[in-house]
Structure 1
Amino acid sequence: MTPPAIKPDPRAIDAFVTEDMILVSLADGRELSVPLAWSEKLLASSEAERANWQLVGTGEALRWPDVDEEIAVVSLMRVA
């Protein structure tokens, strides 16, 4: 018996920023981790500013309004 095909769905559904990583959960079950240094704005921001993020659209991007940073999920996938 062949397992069911998993359809890629690279939309973000959750995110968390640590002291050194951006962690993103995708709709298809994958998880991305990208070094925080990839975003100079987030690297220089406070813990509270990093925690205040929003999904853009249906998860195509993540936005941190306090530091005016928006990152497309596809760009994170290129560097992950």
Structure 2
Amino acid sequence: MTPFATDPLFDEISFTVVLGDGRRLKIPLRCFPRLAAATPGQRDGFRISASGAGLHWDALDEDISVAGLLRGQMDENVR
């Protein structure tokens, strides 16, 4: 079964994606510069895909897949 996102939670330096199986993935915001530069209101403007396999922020043009996070994938512009 593919893990699915239920909720992203933010603090000043990271975001945590809560998965349906109870796991939590904590990711530094620096890995996703658009999220790092966003206001708290913009970060709250996400939607979870119907399958739960990804997160999307229309206002930020940001898409993050759960599978990518589990592989340690980050924004392609981060080195």
Structure 1 unaligned segments of length 5 or more: list them.
Answer: 1-7
Q: Which of the pair is proportionally richer in helix?
A: 1
Query: What is the alpha-carbon root mean square deviation over aligned residues?
Result: 1.6
Q: How does 1:44-59 map to 2 (within 5 A)?
A: 44-59=37-52
Between the aligned residues of both structures, percent identity stands at 33
Q: How many residues align?
A: 73
TM-score (norm. length: structure 2): 0.82
TM-score (norm. length: structure 1): 0.81
Q: What is the SS of the residue equivalent to 2:8?
A: strand
Displaced runs of 4 or more, over 3 A: none
Instruction: Provide the C-alpha distance between the structure 2 equivalents of 1:9 and 1:71, rounded to a whole number of angstroms.
Output: 15
Structure 2 unaligned segments of length 5 or more: list them.
Answer: 74-79
1:3 matched to which residue of 2? none
Q: 2:31 aligns with which of 38, 48, 57?
A: 38
Q: Which amino acid aligns with 2:68?
A: S
Deviations 1:17-70 (A, max 9, x none): 222111111111111101111101111111110111110122100011111101
Instruction: Provide the C-alpha distance between the structure 1 equivalents of 2:12 and 2:6, rounded to a whole number of angstroms.
Output: 21
Larger Rg: 1
Q: Does 1:72 align with 2:73?
A: no
